[in-house]
Structure 1
């Protein structure tokens, strides 16, 4: 009789992990993190005011810890010898172990706690061998209690919340164990130290987190300011690029028309010359097409205002009159006849005056402003000077970032000129630009 083979046992499914194992693993992980926090400080060994601008503030933490050590060292020695009757040698050793580490609170508070805490516990155990004085306090005598509070406060100010809570938990547990070990000797300090320590831990944590928040806010403001300046620079460069396109496109269009019409205007041109003119016209048209494509990218908003002709020195009078109507007294001085000004210089001079007047409106409203444009044949000088604001007039912007000067520098650098800006002794401000009237090809703009 044949027996059919027994079916193969199904593959055993993995047994679910008991919830208790997960709790044990989490407890072990937390204990490892606590042990790591207690053994490894979370800050470099520098005092809290190491980056202060004034020297006395940088020295303040050292002065405090030296004063604490000089105070608690003799007081602890005196209390141990006179109040508890401890011999001088042992009292001196305990006093040094409990008070000398206070010198480390400025830069290494966690390491100081690792010395002070065992020394205080050892001192409490040693005091059990001596008779209880009438006014004796155990397990934490007054000097030990107060100095240890400073240690806990320093730990809360410098270490992480997990480390500070761990220090307080060990302190409270030790106080409870000492109280249960000698109930007859224990009194209020066994509960007083954990209570005061909890309060100090909360205060220290609040101060520390507030300082961290202020530091992060200052860093973010610095980053935002740098990004804002970079964005302003890029926007101004894009605006200059658009205006430069208008200038170059005009000349390229003229080149194209001249190259196309040359064979019709000039008789007897050889075939090679006609082909050369055709190549010139074709290259000019291709360049115009590429520039229009680039302009489409730059003019991403497609506003009609940017398609309008770029303003120049001929519109300075309208600009000053509009500024006067806005409430800013302004004067304009122009020569009777300006020399031929390159279009790039023409647009740059107008934009410099426009930005200078806008800065006066924003930062010194009501100040008398004088605008003058002059030329010596080789350079065009643009000068905008404003007096200090008269009367109790609040500026429209109380803080200035200097971003308006970025565009001026970019335009002056584009033309190869120079720009001089700065406050005046009487409280006013001056903007002076000197732009060459001949093309400058030897200088290339550099990134700031």
Structure 2
């Protein structure tokens, strides 16, 4: 079977098609600005910097309009009416340089071309009605000095905003127009025909270099900011890993020892009463539950929350178990659950609210055990309308002696406030006149779901 030979290569574009393509690209760049009509220096931090471009263009307009009018009427022998119109058309668009420089260039360019043609037209002065020849041949044409200066300011604004293709198109269009006008009246002084392209090229090159330097500095600052953010992220991950390692090596070890000792106590100590055996069993169960919670926290710290998101989180359905464990520790607690309280997230309770309610009750009961041992405590969870109310109130400590902790760090209350803030609710905490303490949280049942891993990482 003969092998198939590849087909002939496609014909290369000829010179006319290449020229047409490039001319089309240049024409498109002249008709479409490369930036939105946002003011120059709009992102500056200080107000005077944002206002500076407007002040500059206003001063330029105020200066160039009367100068152009005076030059056209006195030196170029243009009537006052046409001179006023030309002055406004050639210098008025300078007000647009701060936000629309390309559109301003179009108006100025067309006005300059029209003005050059008007200068060649003989004028008639009354009352003699004798035609007066145009301006003297020694005066620059087609671009008078104010036109050249105003055009340079336009090119300056373009160089700070537009792309290289647009700048090249503007420069070529201006130079071509000057050459064509010179061909109309070659006897005139053609100094402006050469001077404007030369000065314009210098202005465009300088401004383009300054703009590219500014963009390079901006990209460098952005890269430094990204590097600093990545460095801070690495530091955070390293710190989280170190905390996870310390929790695993120290706290988890001791909790495991407590679990083993509590489980083996009934076998190592003979003659234990049944109540003591139940107490050791309760200690072992609490220790195992703490280990489970710690493993979940360690997974969040080590894997950036991916494992924690898959792990089940406690909610209102486990508050009864939490209260029973607290009662077994010797704290008299009464629980009141409203009949209209959703039992799980499947019944419409947001996961963030479900977890936050459990953690608030857990932290409040832990604070009572630490700071008011033996105090009578009441836990109430009710739903009214679109909000869930969690209330934990304890009396003054009933057991004689000092509390387990005389002072606290306040991290528990801070954690409660953060949880309530994440759900969009409110928290009210404070001491009572009789020496007790009150924790009241109001959580919206329509709160947005917050990833459980972010809440688990804030566990008290």
Q: TM-score, structure 2 length as denominator?
A: 0.57
Partner residue in 1 for 2:406: 378
Partner residue in 2 for 1:238: 241
User: Partners in 1 of 2:164 and 2:9 — Cα distance?
Assistant: 35
Over 3 Å counting, the alpha-carbon distance change for 1:254 and 1:222 in structure 2 is same
Q: 1:178-229, CA deviations, whole angstroms, 9 ceiling, x for partnerless residues? A: 2233221142111000000000001110111122122222323333333333
Residue 229 of structure 2: which of 214, 226, 244 is its match? 226
Query: Alignment partner of 1:19: what SS?
Result: coil
Partner residue in 2 for 1:180: 183
- How many residue pairs match? The answer is 304
Query: Alignment partner of 2:13: what SS?
Result: helix
Residue 263 of structure 1: which of 260, 263, 267 is its match? 267
User: Partners in 2 of 1:215 and 1:12 — Cα distance?
Assistant: 53
* Unaligned 5+ runs, structure 1: 1-9, 300-374, 382-411, 419-441
The answer to whether the 8 A contact 2:57-2:98 is kept is yes
The answer to whether the 8 A contact 1:256-1:284 is kept is no
Partner residue in 2 for 1:40: 32
User: Partners in 1 of 2:46 and 2:244 — Cα distance?
Assistant: 46
Partner residue in 1 for 2:58: 66
User: Partners in 2 of 1:24 and 1:378 — Cα distance?
Assistant: 91
Q: 1:86-119, CA deviations, whole angstroms, 9 ceiling, x for partnerless residues? A: 1122112111110100110111100000100111
Q: 1:120-139, CA deviations, whole angstroms, 9 ceiling, x for partnerless residues? A: 11111222224241541111
User: Partners in 1 of 2:148 and 2:23 — Cα distance?
Assistant: 27
User: Partners in 2 of 1:136 and 1:148 — Cα distance?
Assistant: 18
Q: How much does 1:19 deviate?
A: 2.1
Residue 215 of structure 1: which of 196, 215, 218 is its match? 218
Q: How much does 1:164 deviate?
A: 1.0
Q: 1:151-182, CA deviations, whole angstroms, 9 ceiling, x for partnerless residues? A: 11111111111111111111122222222332
User: Partners in 2 of 1:210 and 1:192 — Cα distance?
Assistant: 27
Query: Alignment partner of 1:178: what SS?
Result: helix
User: Partners in 2 of 1:52 and 1:87 — Cα distance?
Assistant: 44
User: Partners in 1 of 2:51 and 2:172 — Cα distance?
Assistant: 32
User: Partners in 1 of 2:404 and 2:52 — Cα distance?
Assistant: 61
User: Partners in 1 of 2:225 and 2:214 — Cα distance?
Assistant: 17
The answer to whether the 8 A contact 2:91-2:150 is kept is yes
Partner residue in 1 for 2:82: 90
Query: Alignment partner of 1:101: what SS?
Result: helix
Partner residue in 2 for 1:160: 163
The answer to whether the 8 A contact 1:263-1:269 is kept is no
User: Partners in 1 of 2:413 and 2:144 — Cα distance?
Assistant: 80
Q: TM-score, structure 1 length as denominator?
A: 0.58
Give the aligned CA root-mean-square deviation in angstroms: 4.1
Q: How much does 1:75 deviate?
A: 1.1
Over 3 Å counting, the alpha-carbon distance change for 1:66 and 1:298 in structure 2 is closer
Partner residue in 1 for 2:13: 20
User: Partners in 1 of 2:170 and 2:412 — Cα distance?
Assistant: 63
Partner residue in 2 for 1:6: none
User: Partners in 2 of 1:253 and 1:268 — Cα distance?
Assistant: 20
> Which stretch shifts more, 145-154 or 130-139?
130-139
User: Partners in 2 of 1:161 and 1:38 — Cα distance?
Assistant: 11
User: Partners in 2 of 1:413 and 1:444 — Cα distance?
Assistant: 15
Partner residue in 2 for 1:104: 96
User: Partners in 2 of 1:237 and 1:415 — Cα distance?
Assistant: 22
Partner residue in 1 for 2:313: none
User: Partners in 2 of 1:96 and 1:161 — Cα distance?
Assistant: 29
Over 3 Å counting, the alpha-carbon distance change for 1:96 and 1:376 in structure 2 is farther
User: Partners in 2 of 1:237 and 1:413 — Cα distance?
Assistant: 18
The answer to whether the 8 A contact 2:137-2:189 is kept is no
Residue 170 of structure 1: which of 152, 173, 197 is its match? 173
Over 3 Å counting, the alpha-carbon distance change for 1:415 and 1:77 in structure 2 is closer
The answer to whether the 8 A contact 1:413-1:445 is kept is no
The answer to whether the 8 A contact 1:132-1:185 is kept is no
Partner residue in 2 for 1:120: 112
The answer to whether the 8 A contact 2:266-2:272 is kept is no
Over 3 Å counting, the alpha-carbon distance change for 1:219 and 1:76 in structure 2 is same
User: Partners in 1 of 2:31 and 2:458 — Cα distance?
Assistant: 52
Over 3 Å counting, the alpha-carbon distance change for 1:114 and 1:240 in structure 2 is same
The answer to whether the 8 A contact 1:98-1:119 is kept is yes
Q: How much does 1:28 deviate?
A: 4.1
Q: How much does 1:232 deviate?
A: 2.2
